[in-house]
Each structure stands twice: as C-alpha cells, then as structure tokens.
Amino acid sequence: MVRSSTWIWPRIPQRLSAKANGDTQNDEPTVRTLVELADHNAVYNPEHMFCIQQVQTKSGLQFVQITYRLLKAAVYLYSRRILQQFRDLAIPVDNDFQSDRQGPIAILLEGDVDVLIYTLAIQSLHRPVLLLSSRLNPNAMSLLLRQTRAAAIIVSESTVHTAKIALDTLSLQGERGIQVLTSPGLVSALDSINAANPKGALYNRPKDFDDLNPNALIMHSSGTTGLPKAIYHCHRWTLLCGGVEDAESSITQGVLALTASVFHAYGFLISTRSLATGLVVCLPIPSAKKIDGKARLEWLRACQADHFATVPSVLQDLSQLPNNEGLQALANLKYVAYSGCTMKGSLGDACVAAGVRLSPIYGSTEAGVLSAFTYYNSAHHNWRYFKLRQDVSVYAKPSSIDQPDEAIHKLVVNVPGWTAPFELQDDIRASDTNPGHFTVCGRLDDVIVLSHGQNVMPHVIETALTDSSLIKAAVAFGSEQPELGALVIPSSPVRSEQMDTFTDEIFSLVKGISNSTREDIHYKEALVVLPHDAELEATEKGSIKRREMLQRYQKQIEEAYEKIRMAECQRTDGLSYTKLA
C-alpha cells in the first residue's frame, strides 16, 4: 500500500516544491478542484489505494479497500443517485453552471469515507456542499440549513431522525421545503461500484470558473459558545489545506490511520491529503459508543498503519494499556500526530520517552491546516511545538496579553477567497531554539477545551448553576478531559443523607442546557459538591480565580473523573476489530 515511484503528481495551485511533480512553479495548475484531483488519479494512478474504510457487514467488521479507479466509480454513481432523487433542483446541464449560486446540498452522515465521496459527487454537479456534524442537535441543524438556504440534505438511517426533527422545525417556521435523500451506505453500493466503469471526466470546469469563490464547501463552527455559524470556503482552500508543503520531508507515503470524523475540518482535510499526495488513509467504522484503548489498538494493527493522526484522549487510552502495549505500538509508527486540543505534559513526555515520534497538527475550521505535516529530527524537535507551513499566507503578530517573561503572538491567516485576514483565538509562543515553531499557550477568551477538541464556554454552565438559590458559587472544569464538570459550593450546609437529592436537583439545572450540541454535562458524577464554607479563591472585585480553584481541588476533580470512568465501564461494552487480510 506504499506509493510507488510511478505515482504521477497532479499540478495544484501554490505548490512550493517544483521537484514534487517535475514541473516548474510557473506552470498553470491543471487541477483546481477536489473532483479534478479524483479525475487525475483515476487516469494516472488508477490502482493506487485511496482509502481503507472499516465497515460493518453481516459477517462482522471488515475493511473495504478503495482505489482511485473505484473512487471515481463511486463518485459517478453517487452523483447519478443525486440527479435521480433531486430532479427539480436545477442541477446544471451542458454549459449552464449557474447553480453554484444557489443553495447547497447538505450532508449529514456518520463521518466515514461516504462524506468525502458525496462531497465530490455534489461538487461534480457544480453545487455547493454543506457539511453537518452528526453531533449537532436539531435546533442547531435547522439554523444552519436556514442560514445557508440549503436545497436538499443527504442522510443515513442513523441520522434521518435528527434531520426530520430539524426539517419539521423549519416547516413550522414557514421555511420552504428541503428535499431528503437517504443514503443506503457504502456496503450496499459496493457491487455497483465495482461493476461501474464511467467514461470521461467527472468534472467539466466552466470557462468562468473562479476557484476563489467561497461557496464551494460550507462547514460550521462547533456552536459550544452559542449557536453554530456557517463557514464558507472556496476550492483553492481545500486544495491548499490538503496539499503537500514540502515533498522531500512531508508525509506522502504509507498508510495513515485517522480517528477524526470526516465531517470535521480536521478529518476532512487530512482525508483529502490522500487525493493530493497518494497517502493512504484508513478510517474506522463510525461508532456512537466510546472505543476503548484495547479495541483501538486492534484496529491500528489491523489497518497496518505507518502513521497515526488522532486526538490526545485516544493517545491517553492507548498509553494506559497494560505492559506498555499501546506505547510500544505507537513507537513502532513513523509519525504520530495529535490535534483538537493541547495535550497533558505527562502524557506527551511519556509518549516521547517510549520512543513515539509525536507532533501536533494545528489549525482551525476557518484557517485550515497551518502546521507542516512532516517528519521531524527527534533530537531537535519538542513535541509541544508545531512548525508553520511555508505554502500558506500566515504570519504571527504580537498579542495584547501581557506576559513580561515571554513573547506571546497571534496567528493571522489570509484565507483563500476571504476579503479580510482571519485572526485565530489562540495565544502562541515561539520556540527559542527552532525558528518558525510555535506552541499554544492560551486562548483569547476563557474557553475550556475538552479532550476531543470541543470548545466550551465555562460561564454557560456556571451561570446555570449560580442562578439557583441553592448554589453560592460554581467553577466549571474539564480541560483535556472527555467530560465537562463543575465544582459546586452550596449556599447552605447539605447533610450526607440529602446529598443524592441535592445532586439530582443541580444536575437537572445543567443537563442538556447546551442549545447547539450534545457536549454538556452528562454525568452527575461530574458535579463535585464542596462544603458550603469551602474557601473561595477570588479577586478583590469578586471574580473567581479559576486556575487557583482548580489547583486547590485537583484531588476532588480527579476522583470525579474516576467515578465517571467507572460509570462508563458499567454502561459501555468495548468493540473488537477484525484483522485486515
């Protein structure tokens, strides 16, 4: 599954290394869209592996291997399915390409390779794509559908219920109807994909094509600080973010195991890297259940990965396997990347001490991937630092945060297709030893970043709690943890025999208060009730000193997460994975 020397590189915009494809940098790029990348590879690299997708079949969990020839067939069949289902959506024919100015077709799937295939299929029809996270609740979903004026939505059997509620909400609000296509899934389409042999190109670029028109791909913010907002991107953004910075040192060969859902920017852009470089991406079957470390290790071995891109919580699970089995498996990989949030120092140090080649991937849904996806010299590389890409327009400017002992910066990005620069919220610190390397040291606002990358505004939970007369003070916690929790100081003493009732009552205040996602407090065990006279660290103005409070009650917080883990073990069975033949 390693890319051979016969791999023929596509010419894409803004590739810095002329040596990568044997062309001069002044050559006009022949590829301007993701669909054209699929076309190029179907012609020049047809039997090279594009993706390995784990699927559920009647005989159990198996792996489906998709070559670029099969990818083209799948995109063609999916586009025909869309045309047949949505006959009155004014899909362009012949030279009529005006539909890119009309409403998008939304995709609400579980997060496997079907998301990418449908994206290519929709774009091949010159229609904008709206990627929706399956974690959104119906209210947030209906908002995005209304904001973007979506014309249709593609769902699966597991997401159709949520979509129906969202569409019913729009109907009650007097919005026009949105058509629905229920996808049967990749497994059901395999026979047709294998038998198909589409002729000609998937995509015919119009004469007035503009790859900087920010209406090709629409993503959205997480919505944890409020309701989600639509984020518009152009074709050039997708090519640039998924492309290769430096062909001589970038990771472009082998199998990359990826745990991120493809409907998120992280998972989507890493997956598209395969189209641009020949890197083979292996995706797990989407699961609503938490996958434990042992099952994750079995999957990692089964897909015969050379590289691994994941989030810190998965690395934490692997590091806790007995006999250092997980760390040893990670150390055997050529490259291990993490993203979504910062990593605990103890976990990162343990990985590096075990020989893991660890490095962060940095970016955002707005800016894309800003860090170099490349090998590092372990003797000089600090796992906490990422290297800025040289082929994107990004620069660091001084931050307004007052740090007398160190220089704090903000990253500003000229996003392709946008009319104004975009400033990221993170505060970053430059490396003293490696120019161009940075580490995240804070955020613009007081945000809790959970272990899977979800951003949570703590005051939402804190306000919900302290609005009750039962509670004197509350401090949310959850940084680098899978669940959000809170320290609670009651207004009056709570006797031991009253504690269960008290906890139930305050849990009802915060359970499900999030108005856009399901990432709120899920467990009563995450509420740490302190004595009513517990010392409260606060400023002279009365503002709670969050860091000092969390440090003071660190032991109680750790005990709460241990209780949560025990509760999860009682509710969740681990998954086992089959080997790749």
Got the DSSP string for 350-368?
HHHHTT--EEE--EETTTE
Mean pLDDT of 458-474: 78
Residues 6+ apart with CB under 8 A from 172: none
Mean pLDDT of 426-444: 81
Helix (H, G, I), strand (E, B) or coil at 396: strand
Question: What is the H or E stretch that residue 409 is in?
Answer: strand 408-413
Tokens representing residue 183 in the block: 């996808």
Q: Report how far residue 403's alpha carbon sits from residue 400's, in angstroms, rounded to the nearest whole number.
A: 9
Q: Which residue, chain included where needed, has tokens 């699961």?
A: 287
Greater model confidence, 513 or 108? 108
Best CA proximity match to 76, nearest among 120, 127, 10, 130: 120
> Residue 268's CB: how many other CB atoms inside 10 A?
24
Best CA proximity match to 205, nearest among 95, 130, 121: 95
State the fold for domain 34-87+100-289: Rossmann fold (3.40.50)
Q: What is the mean pLDDT of the chain?
A: 82
Q: pLDDT (tens digit, 9 = 90+) per residue, 270-297?
A: 999 889 888 999 999 987 677 889 999 9
pLDDT surpassing 90 at residue 50:
yes
Tokens representing residue 27 in the block: 């050559």
Q: Give the CA dihedral 30, 32, 38, 42, nearest 10 degrees.
A: -10
Predicted pLDDT at 400: 62
Q: How confident is the model at residue 106 (pLDDT cuts 50, 70, 90)?
A: very high
Quick one: angle between helices 235-242 and 265-277, nearest 10?
Answer: 80
Q: pLDDT (tens digit, 9 = 90+) per residue, 338-361?
A: 987 667 677 888 899 999 999 899
Lowest average pLDDT, out of 30-34, 112-116, 346-350, 402-406, goes to 402-406
Q: Which CATH code for domain 448-574?
A: 3.30.300.30
Q: CATH 3.40.50.12780 occupies which residues in the chain? A: 34-87+100-289
Q: pLDDT (tens digit, 9 = 90+) per residue, 370-409?
A: 988 776 666 678 898 998 888 888 888 887 654 444 577 8
pLDDT surpassing 50 at residue 446:
yes
pLDDT surpassing 90 at residue 428:
no
Q: CATH 3.30.300.30 occupies which residues in the chain? A: 448-574
- List, in sequence order, every beta strand (DSSP E) within 133-216: 152-155, 179-182
Q: How confident is the model at residue 578 (pLDDT cuts 50, 70, 90)?
A: very low
Amino acid present at 428: I
